[in-house]
Amino acid sequence: MKKIFLVLIIITAFLGCDSGATRVNNPNLPNYAVSEALTLSLPQYSQLQFVSNPIIISAGISGIVVMNTGTSYTAFDLACPNMQFGTCPSAMTLVGLNAYCSCDESTYSLFTGLSDGQQYPMKQYRAELSGGVLYISN
């Protein structure tokens, strides 16, 4: 009886673990490995020290837009999430604090990655600040 109880506790502990990030499985986009380290003191990344100044890095599917939201950092892929990969020839473009997909004419918030009326949000990457380095990964 003690062994069964112990096994149930261990299984519950493993099933209750969370990586801290919400994952959305988007069948339209491939899952490319991303592991980038951005040193915020370098000139090309210095904009990230200020709120609402997005930059684009060459990584992911179609480039990744990274932004300081004031409380954390966000990192989203610029591939149109509601278009089958390869059918939309261009990456989304930045329009203020939004990303615009010209293929389906939808606009996504750079704070949340969401767009009204769309099934899938922008593909999000983990963004973690450690010291003066921002790590972008999936």
Percent of the chain with pLDDT over 70: 83
On the question of pLDDT at 23 being above 60, the answer is: no
Do 120 and 81 meet the contact criterion of CB atoms below 8 Å apart? Answer: yes
Quote the pLDDT of residue 24: 60
Give the Cα separation of 50 and 56 in Å (integer).
15
Model pTM?
0.81
On the question of pLDDT at 13 being above 70, the answer is: no
> Using one digit for the tens of pLDDT, what is the confidence trace for 25-78?
889 999 999 999 999 999 999 999 999 999 999 999 999 999 999 999 999 999
Q: Which helix (H) or strand (E) holds 5?
A: helix 2-15
Taken in order of first residue, the domains within the chain and their CATH numbers are 24-137 (2.102.10.10)
The confidence band for 90, taking pLDDT boundaries of 50, 70 and 90, is confident
